[in-house]
Every structure is written in structure tokens, then in C-alpha cells.
Chain A
Amino acid sequence: MEVIRLTFVVSVVALAISSVLGIPVGSWMGLRRFRGRGLLRTLIYTGMGLPPVVVGLAVYLTLSRQGPMGDLEWLFTPAGMVAAQVIIAFPIVAGLTSAALEGLDPEFPLQVRSLGANARQEAAAMLRQARGGVIAALLAAFGGIISEVGAAMLVGGNIEGKTRVLSTAIVLETRRGEFATALALGGVLLVLAFVVNAGLLRLQVTPRHPS
């Protein structure tokens, strides 16, 4: 079914981009001390609480014909949906990654460094150590993306066969009064989330390498 395929593609692509951006920013924020770190952290944590529909509205206005990025012609396309979902999920990945790293034993980086690790190796070792927390960050971000409806509806436009995803399809079926179909789609959404979560959690339980 097209709805399921699109939901999967949009969510996974948005999660991948959020991770590529969010894990480095989260590591930097969690491991380094620099000017403006407090402000950055407050901004990221505030971003975690942004109402998705507000993100959707901002992206909508940016991508609209009259908006600054209207020439991209991304409005009402999966690309526009991914952009909105990344803005929603990036703060979650960055914020929770940073929190996971800050929760490590403060002695740990000293030990790693005493073994002769450079800054990059140190960060990699720290991330491995905090792997559980980082994966929880990805799970939280994915849950936010796949269940999000406000931004997906606004930016995607819920076009049948083109930008309709499970969450917006559920809203539509509910408005139609097709409660059974809506509930069934909710079940599909849960199964999809379960499969992706199970995949991500496998990463967490692989035996740890001694660092």
C-alpha cells in the first residue's frame, strides 16, 4: 500500500538526516565546553517542545509560492514533509544525545585520553559508552516523526497516492466517520513503529567492544 510505503520512506529519511545532524551537534554540546553552550542547550531543549503544527506552519510559509523558498517547489511533496520532520526531530536527537553523554562517569574521558586517544577517538568512545541513551534519542525522534500529523497535513497536503501518510490518513478516515478503517490504520502504524524500533534496539544489544 502506497500510504505505508510513503510513511516508511519519509520517516526513515527524516530520521537519518536528523541523526547525521543531531548526533554530532549533541556530542559537541555534551562533551565540549564553549561560549554560548548554555544558550545553545536552552534553544535545543526548547526545540524539543516545539508544537509540530507550528513547525509545519513555518515550513509551509517558507515553501509557499510567495515564500522565500517557493522556487524549490517542495510544498505538497514528500521532500517538504521530510524537511518539516527533520526540524521537529533534530532537537530531540541532539538534546537527548547530549544528555546521554553528560550522564557518563566524568572519569571516563580522562581514562580514554590517558590511553592516548585524540579528540575524535575520545568522542567515538564516549558515544559507544552512551549507546543506550543515543539509541533512545533515535527512538524518541522516530516516534515523534511517524506519529506526527499537524506538519504532515499542512506541508504534505494529504494528497492521495502522493503525500498521504498513515497519520494523516487516520485523521481523514476519522472525519469520514470510517472509524474501523482509522483504527486499522492505527494498528498498521503501531506495527511499523514496532519493526523500526526492534531494528534500532538490536544495535543496542550487540555485545560491547572493549574500548
Chain B
Amino acid sequence: MRTGRRIGPVFLFAATVAAAGCAPATPDASQLLRLATTTSTYDSGLLDSILPVFEGAYDADVDVVAVGTGQAIEIGRSGDADVILVHSRNAEDAFVADGYGVERFPVMFNDFVLVGPHADPAGIASAATGAEALQRIYDSQSTFVSRGDDSGTHAKELALWQAASLTPALTDAWYLSIGQGMGETLQFAHEQQGYTLADRGTYLSVADTLPDLMILFGGGTIAENPDQAMRNPYGVIQVRAPDLQSSEAQAAAEFVAWLTSLETQEMVRDYGVAEFGQPLFYPSSTAWCEASGPDSPGCSS
């Protein structure tokens, strides 16, 4: 758990209150920006790695609220965040279409993998697609652990079931919908020796605590993932503020531009390579795709 960034804002708040009490606010005080995002971007350490660059360059302080995609979008809807960075394409498009967001920009992607016990009782390792793998789990009634929390990962799982034309019932003893985060769900699957769908980044970051689980579908790296439908794209959206000329709104727009810029995208590409031997996220912003060519993975969509 990385706590530095979560403690920072509290100190800053206390310092701001103290400062406000004794001195008039200086016009060049650093801009406070609140980012609502998913636990996957935060727990992977990506934000801790790249945000200080933005804070330094723009004299801003970014408060990160790391929650499920559903809650992150709701926080944006109620105007309690300036920017959201999430991974649930349909919900993102609805957020913009309903007028809560300015525009959705692609940022990066990683992919989903199906993990399970080494014995692979359902035999999903030889499946051609994620949907086929789920079909085999369904047919063999093997234990499957679902996030069940309206997260981006849960949305992807439901889309895969739909692609397989199956609807597992909550009354099925083998289908366990636990409504918890990715880390907890992986621990649960490990304990129960069941299958689950996980984003590769989170799985890699906790894999050393899960000796009895392995990736059974999705390959060793994102390039080896046989199914394009297992891609997991992230988007960034500036929340539509009442006054788009306000300093918060401008800082939010600056943040979106910075996150999708070529320089930041290169930082995203390099993050995690030293620690995990492969990137956790692959850049896919418009600027990145223009620079690296349309054949670059994730740029065609």
C-alpha cells in the first residue's frame, strides 16, 4: 500500500487552513486538482511515479481518490472531482453523453488475463478466445470468482459472458460474486482454487503471494494474448465544471493535455519494466499513436 500521497493532501489541507488563517491567499499558490481514478492505476504505483512531474511542471497538487470505476464516475457526476481516469468504455461514453464530462481521451491500455489453479480443471489453457475459456469454465462448473462490483473488470467479465452467450446465475454454487477489489478477489480465488478475471498489472504486482494460481489464458505478456477482446483501455475525462474558465477547470484541462502528451506517454510505457520485466500499461493517446504509427498496438481502435 502506498500511503505517501494519501497523507500528503491531509498535511497540505492542514497547512492551507493554517495559512488561510494568518495570511491572504497569494495569487501564485499551487493549484489543487482532484483526480478520481480506479484502484488499478493507483495500486500499480503508476500515478505515484508520474504525477510528481505534473505537479512540478504546473505548480499543482493532485489529490488522488482511488476507488472502483463505478464510484469514480459517481464522484465525477457529483462534481467532487475535476478529472476522472477510468476503464469502462460504455460508462465513460455515457458520462460524456450525459453532459458530465467534457470529452473522453484515450490514455493507455493493458489487458485482462484469466488466472486459475495450476491443475486447470476446466482446461481453459487451450482455448482460442476469452469467451471460449469462460464457456469451458461454465460447462465444467469450475469455481469462478467474480468481482461483482460494477468495476471496469466486472464490466469486462460480463461482456465476455455475453460474447459466449451465457449468463451464470448467482444461485450456481460454482459462481461466486464477492463484490470486492482486484487484490481481494485474487486472494479469494487463490484460497478457493478458483478461476478469476484479472487485469495483468494487478496480477503481476501480487503474483508472488499467489503461488497456487497462474495465468491460464492471456499469455505471458500482452503481445502473447491471443484475444484482442481482452484489451483493457483507460480513458481520461475532464469533469464539466460550472465555469470552464475557472482555475480548477483550466488545471483539469492542462492535466488531460499533459497525460496524453508524448512525453508523459513515454513515461507510461517505461513504468514497471525494471520491476516486472514488462510494462504494466501501454500508451495509446492520439499524440502517441501519431508518433508511433497506426500499426502500434491499441491505436487502431
Contact = CB atoms under 8 A, between A and B. Distances in A.
Given A160-B178, A164-B179, A174 B71 contact: yes
Contact of A175 (B68, B170, B177, B192): B68
B71 A76 contact: no
Interface string A172-211: 1011111100000000000000000000000000000000
Contacts of B77: 177
A64 B177 CA distance: 19
Contacts of A167: none
Given A157-B188, A164-B179, A177-B73, 8 more contacts: A76-B191, A153-B180, A157-B178, A160-B177, A161-B170, A174-B71, A177-B70, A177-B74
B70 A176 contact: yes
Contacts of A176: 68, 70-71, 149-150
Contacts of A164: 179
B172 to A, nearest CB: 10
Contact of B178 (A65, A158, A175): A158
What class of interface size applies to chain A in its complex with B? 20 to 34
Classify the interface of chain A: helix, strand, loop or mixed.
Answer: loop
B176 interface: yes
Nearest to B177: A160
Contacts of B179: 158, 160, 164, 168-169, 172, 175
B125 interface: no
Complex A-B, nearest 6 residue pairs according to Cβ-Cβ distance, in ascending order = A177-B74, A172-B179, A177-B70, A176-B70, A160-B177, A175-B68
Interface of B: 67-68, 70-75, 77, 148-150, 170-171, 176-180, 184, 188, 191-192
13 contacts: A65-B191, A76-B191, A153-B184, A157-B180, A157-B188, A161-B171, A174-B71, A175-B149, A175-B179, A177-B71, A177-B72, A177-B73, A178-B150
- Max chain B C-beta neighbours (<10 A), residue from A64, A159, A169, A178: A159
B101 to A, nearest CB: 15
A172 B191 contact: no
Interface in A51-85: 64-65, 75-76
A5 interface: no
Given A76-B191, A161-B171, A172-B149, A179 B74 contact: yes
A176 B150 CA distance: 6
A37 interface: no
- Max chain B C-beta neighbours (<10 A), residue from A161, A178, A179: A161
A158 B180 contact: yes
A80 B274 CA distance: 41
Contacts of A178: 70, 150
A175 B176 contact: no
Contacts of A153: 180, 184
Contacts of A168: 179
Contacts of A161: 170-171, 177
A162 interface: yes
Contacts of A64: 191
Given A159-B176, A160-B178, A177 B191 contact: no
Contacts of A162: 176
A183 to B, nearest CB: 13
Contacts of B191: 64-65, 75-76
Contacts of B176: 157, 159-160, 162
B178 A177 contact: no
Nearest to B148: A160
